[in-house]
């Protein structure tokens, strides 16, 4: 993995997507910014800047990653592996792409596919007076562990099985909104493709 470090960028995700469209970067590559002025969240919301964060986006050709990951579940796949790389038991992945420390949201994952390239952005609050935060970590060590995991090409099933075991415990008292409806996670079944089945309806995201 080749790393490109920046002091500041509007958004690592938008920067990397544009470079891929322009064909100016060799893959795989990871873009890391100490500060983002206009970071974007998974549902195209603004990701507010905090005092200190680990913010990065990376890109792999689809053929360089595990071939059995369902296209709609890349964020679950990357999010769970990143959570594992933190080696912090109190951090968990809220389906499908939010990182939590106990009951506080501390980060998120978003994944897009562009020209047969998977582009994933991850933001993790380390210090934040107005938001949840993980606390200090060695970012270099975290990234090293994370990309070592990815380069081992773990199968989708090897991620889904442990995530399924954690899912019920972590989501039992949570819900999300779909229009005017409240959808409760405790009624959900996590399917083999990473979707949720609730009252006969499949969900791949909150949208």
Confidence grade of residue 179 (pLDDT, cut at 50, 70, 90): confident
Tokens at residue 32, please?
Answer: 């890391």
> What's residue 44's pLDDT?
55
The whole-number pLDDT of residue 41 equals: 62
User: Mapping DSSP to helix (H, G, I), strand (E, B) and coil, where does residue 134 land?
Assistant: coil
pLDDT of 206: 78
- Mean pLDDT value of segment 128-134: 85
Element (DSSP H or E) covering residue 109: strand 104-114
- CA torsion sign for 92, 95, 96, 101 is negative
> Does residue 68 carry a pLDDT above 70?
yes
Tokens of 43: 């549902």
Split at pLDDT 50, 70, 90, the class of 150 is very high
Of 44, 50, 45, 40, nearest to 12 by C-alpha is 40
Cα–Cα distance list, 179 to 82, 189, 206, 207 (Å): 30, 21, 10, 9
Report which of 166, 153, 181 is spatially closest to residue 61, judged by C-alpha positions: 153
Please determine, for residue 17, whether its predicted confidence score (pLDDT) is greater than 60. yes
Instruction: Decide if pLDDT at 130 tops 70.
Output: yes
Mean pLDDT of the region 182-187: 92
Which of 174, 164, 43 has the alpha carbon at shortest distance from 103? 174
- Per-residue pLDDT reduced to its tens digit, 92-122: 999 999 999 999 999 999 999 999 999 999 9
118 exposed, middle or buried (CB, 10 Å; 0-12, 13-18, 19+)? buried
Q: Does the bond joining 96 to the residue before it have cis omega, within 30 degrees of 0?
A: yes
Q: What is the pLDDT of residue 181?
A: 86
Contacts of 138 (CB under 8 A, 6+ apart): none
Which DSSP category does 130 fall into? S
Domain-wise residue ranges, the chain: 2-166
Q: At the topology level of CATH, where does 2-166 sit?
A: BirA Bifunctional Protein; domain 2 (3.30.930)
Question: 56 or 39: which carries more pLDDT confidence?
Answer: 56
């Amino acid at each position: 993995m080749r790393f490109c470090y920046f002091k500041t960028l509007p958004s690592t995700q938008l920067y990397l997507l544009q470079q891929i469209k322009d064909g100016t970067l060799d893959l795989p590559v990871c873009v890391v910014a100490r500060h983002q002025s206009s970071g974007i969240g998974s549902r195209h919301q603004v990701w507010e800047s905090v005092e200190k964060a680990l913010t990065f986006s990376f890109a792999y050709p689809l053929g360089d990653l595990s071939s059995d990951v369902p296209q709609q579940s890349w964020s679950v796949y990357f999010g769970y592996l990143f959570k594992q790389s933190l080696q912090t038991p109190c951090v968990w992945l809220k389906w499908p792409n939010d990182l939590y420390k106990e009951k506080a949201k501390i980060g998120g994952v978003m994944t897009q596919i562009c020209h047969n390239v998977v582009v994933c952005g991850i933001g993790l609050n380390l210090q934040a007076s107005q938001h949840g935060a993980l606390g200090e970590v060695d970012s270099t060590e975290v990234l090293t562990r994370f990309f070592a995991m990815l380069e081992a090409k773990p199968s989708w099933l090897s991620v889904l099985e442990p995530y399924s075991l954690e899912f019920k415990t972590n989501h039992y008292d949570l819900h999300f909104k779909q229009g005017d409806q409240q959808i409760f996670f405790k009624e959900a079944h996590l399917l083999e493709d990473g979707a949720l089945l609730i009252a006969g309806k499949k969900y791949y995201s909150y949208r």
